[in-house]
Structure 1
Amino acid sequence: MNLSLIVTKTVSALLLPPLNLILLCTIGLLLHTRRPRLGRAISAFALVTLAVISTPAGALLLVAPLEHRSSSLMSAQHAGAQAIVVLGGGRIRNAPEYGGRDTPKPIPLVRLRYAAQLYRETGLPVLVSGGAPDGAAESEAAIMARSLREDFSVPVRWVEGGSDDTRQNAVLSAAILQAAGVQRILLVTDAMHMPRAQTLFTQTGLDVVAAPASLRSHSPLQATDFLPSDEGISRAHYALHEWIGLAWNAIRPR
């Protein structure tokens, strides 16, 4: 694992829930001796916010605005695309049930399943994108390509295995696709990730048709969605990561 990834993950942990709110609550407690009212207010805000976004219903406050920025793909056949691009999202290392081989995490596996459906609808060639920022010998793209072939019987035309983040996904994938004469793509990633990914891919000059998977905000709420759970905090963590990424992309030079 390279130093850049370690620094990135450390900063992310500090900025994202639950650690950011735990640290904020701690700051409030430290201020309590000198500024009691301010300290109590900060701690109370942190705890209430943590309680709210720890529920799936509360997490929707962060999730829904992201997902509503891209619509579900109604007809892949009429999108005019020339290729399907699927983005990686992590691996399970040394999975014993697969003979010790790495396998996609649940998030990219959902993306691969949707990409397989789009392939069957359109017959378009598939590109998978994802490197090995954790220093593994095999890229995420290679693992995804194997899963598409073995689990979904879908051939993969291009494997982009050099990228470490979404920006590099876009730049390196665009170079491969444009060399092959591909200009318009179906982009497959999570609905929460789609606004940032679509922006970055569009900046490369590609015409991007969003094909979002894992839409969370379209499911009707149930009573249990108002209870704190690991699902709630996980969604809030993911969504806030994307909001920070969008803000960073807006101020960062291309």
Structure 2
Amino acid sequence: MNSLLNLLGIESWKPILSALVLPPVPLLLLVLIGARLILPRRGLGWLVILLSTLGLWFSACSGTAQFLNQVALKVPPALTREQVAELKAAAQAKQPIAIVVLGGGQEALAPEYGVANLNSFSLERLRYGLWLSRETGLPVAFSGGLGWSQPDGQPEAQTAARIAAQDFGHPLKWVEDQSKDTRENAARSVALLKPAGITQIVLVTHGWHMPRSVAVFEDAARGSIKIQPAPMGLAVRVDTKSLEWVPTARGFTNVRNALHELLGSLVRA
């Protein structure tokens, strides 16, 4: 599918197409179809409306997101303290390993700062990547350019480099600022790190984004670089168990992220 979009020259349509096929748009359309069917076929019309309404309900539940992450996406676990210690030992032995943080978007202009700023997803990933670097001594790369929905402005990786140096006091070693999506993150990061002799990448991104990210990085590396997932953002953020099946804004965001990754894996985008 990604190749087809490139062939047709409509890569920039990817954000629009994603919005159209992910909740709530398809479910809202089903509600309208069900309402129209009530007139000629009352039973079928109400069935479609009922199923659509249930779909809308469950598409905003944290429990649905947890199910998708565990069963459909199979999100890998976080690095253990033992694995972090092994990475530290590898760094001390001068093994060619790099931490790669994947961008998740930015604000072209944050009025309170007067400059571009990372969005919450990117900032969380950057923070964990820098923490992991401090714990292990491994160098950090950040991958992220201008997304398809942001045609101009400062590339995300440059924003991350400024924040890493100024706010965290931990400069990045590599900046990959040309990629527009996850597949390009992989291709361009591998191309950047291969000449430096890197043989292992510790990949940092959110858990729901990790399975697809590992797959495209392994495709790009073609066995020349080992990819080790270092997922973050794995905490289950529900105050009480009963709220897992009550629609919330956070639940909707989590479900949509999971479905977006399933769609991306399905069409290999």
TM-score where L is the length of structure 1: 0.90
Number of the residue aligned with 2:66: 60
SS in 2 for 1:193: helix
**TM superposition shift of 1:30:** 2.1
**TM superposition shift of 1:228:** 1.6
**208-217 or 240-249, which deviates more:** 208-217
Number of the residue aligned with 1:209: 228
Unpaired runs of 5+ residues, structure 1, are: none
Number of the residue aligned with 1:49: 55
Per-residue deviation, residues 148-186 of structure 1 (Å, max 9, x unmatched): 112211121111111110000000000000011102010
Number of the residue aligned with 2:76: 70
SS in 2 for 1:83: strand
Task: Map 1:52-131 onto structure 2 (within 5 A).
Answer: 52-65=58-71, 68-74=74-80, 75-79=83-87, 80=90, 82-98=97-113, 100-131=114-145
| Contact persistence 2:102–2:143 (CA under 8 A) | yes
Unpaired runs of 5+ residues, structure 2, are: 1-8, 91-95
Aligned mates of 2:184, 2:140 — CA distance in 1? 18
**TM superposition shift of 1:217:** 4.4
Aligned mates of 2:258, 2:153 — CA distance in 1? 30
Count of aligned pairs: 247
Aligned mates of 1:25, 1:42 — CA distance in 2? 7
Number of the residue aligned with 2:253: 234
Q: Which amino acid aligns with 1:158?
A: W
Q: Which amino acid aligns with 2:39?
A: T
**CA gap 1:244/1:50 in 2 versus in 1, 3 angstroms:** same
**CA gap 1:72/1:219 in 2 versus in 1, 3 angstroms:** farther
**TM superposition shift of 1:69:** 3.2
Aligned mates of 2:72, 2:201 — CA distance in 1? 21
Per-residue deviation, residues 52-72 of structure 1 (Å, max 9, x unmatched): 221222332323335643121
Number of the residue aligned with 1:141: 157
SS in 1 for 2:112: helix
SS in 2 for 1:34: coil
Q: Does 1:186 align with 2:202?
A: yes
Identity %: 36
| Contact persistence 1:93–1:102 (CA under 8 A) | yes
SS in 2 for 1:89: coil
Q: Paired residue for 1:29, among 35, 47, 65? A: 35
SS in 2 for 1:208: strand
Aligned-CA RMSD value: 2.0
| Contact persistence 2:62–2:238 (CA under 8 A) | no
| Contact persistence 1:67–1:215 (CA under 8 A) | no
